[in-house]
Structure 1
Amino acid sequence: MTTFYYCIHCERSFASENSLRQHVRGSPRHNHCDDCNRDFADPTGLKDHWAHNSAHHYCQICDEHFDDDDELEDHHDSEHIHYRDCNQFFQSEDGLHEHRRQSPRHAYLYCSPCRRMFQSEHALRNHMRSSAHQRKSVVCPGNSCGSMFVSTSALVLHLESGVCPSGATRSAVNRFVRQHDRNHVITDPSRLITGRGRHTGCGIDEEVTWYATRAAWNGDAYECYLCHATFSSLRALNQHLGSPRHQRKIYICRWEGCQQRFSALSAFCQHVESEKCGVMRFNAQARRIVGGMLLGVRTIN
């Protein structure tokens, strides 16, 4: 008995299964997916299948197939305005900008004037407080300086870095704060060194200075003997040791529910400026302390 293979769509018989398959694949009346061995009623159905089936890596706009998702994404990024977070395409950069600006999913992380997305609300707030959007109105009162900054924390970081012509350093800033914050509004006396030494009213006026020699080489890199971080050069290791990383956290945010501690005044100022806990909005005494320190910073030398 002879077996025939029949195409219902074309109402044709074929002598073998292979002949039927060749017909389906080659006939313009069929819309066949070779990979999945499926036939679709029209070209639109076939293209929708390619576009939405994870087994295919298909660009609908170009009607082109790719080997994998990475190649497809690279194509989207180079040839089209594609927003991966939403998997949407836009005809222009302005269209993408309006999407980010108006969408509740993105607007709270998007700087519209700069057309930049940020990873968190905190990062966006920091950007909005930066020189990109704020006028530099804070003047360094250090002798022979006069540099301008956008915030108190930026000014304090300048003083702590040791680059100010006034000769200010992080140690000098810390001594100044210890002398003026006698009620411990922003300093924690329990973290200050006690014992013999030159007193300032809130502990010993000294800091530990760490430094490393070539003995810190462990065979592969220069290793910090305090935290075991590694560095490619002795200079980089000593820069790390000279940073606030291993200093006592003498600054404290005393706002209820916060109590976060910091080893540098600039870090404390960044914290209060971020308004994470609201201490500067509601604690007038903390505001006066920070403001008073800056008025008296000319005494740092």
Structure 2
Amino acid sequence: MSFDSEEDYKWHISEFPHSHFSCISCAPSGAFLTHDQLQAHLEQNHATCSLCHLGFINREDLEKHEVYVHNKCLECGELFDCNLDMLNHQVIHVEPSCNCVLCDREFITNSAWVLHLERRQCPSGINRGNVNGWAKDCDQSEAYIGKQFSYKCPTCD
């Protein structure tokens, strides 16, 4: 269907809005008679999901879709079966924030470094006993360690 003027076309769309599929970023000229036509327009002119071929107005909306629907890591593009697997994977993209002072291995958290020591993974031979001794020697240790050297939560007493 064609119209003599843009004004006539706009009137037509306003009078029969439910019989058209519209691209909100291309309005008023972005009205289509079928969902397939709208989808083809979105794929050609806007961001499109390569996994399910849905079209999006912009790249940001596409990326949200890929993360929340397809569990896609935006950093490397890897896909995961569930969101938790993706979140666990994303740790590999975090820059290390601390080094082991004994072997120079890098860790993304202090707790990962302490586990490295406690599990005897450090070539220096440090173990859990050494780590416990260091913890006891810290100024704040009284808040976390009881008389029998058993750890306690200072907020739950």
Greater share of residues in strand: 1
Scaled by the length of structure 2, the TM-score of the pair is: 0.46
Which structure has greater helix proportion?
2
Instruction: Return the structure number with greater relative CO, CA threshold 8 A, min gap 6.
Output: 1
If the length of structure 1 is used for normalisation, what is the TM-score?
Answer: 0.27
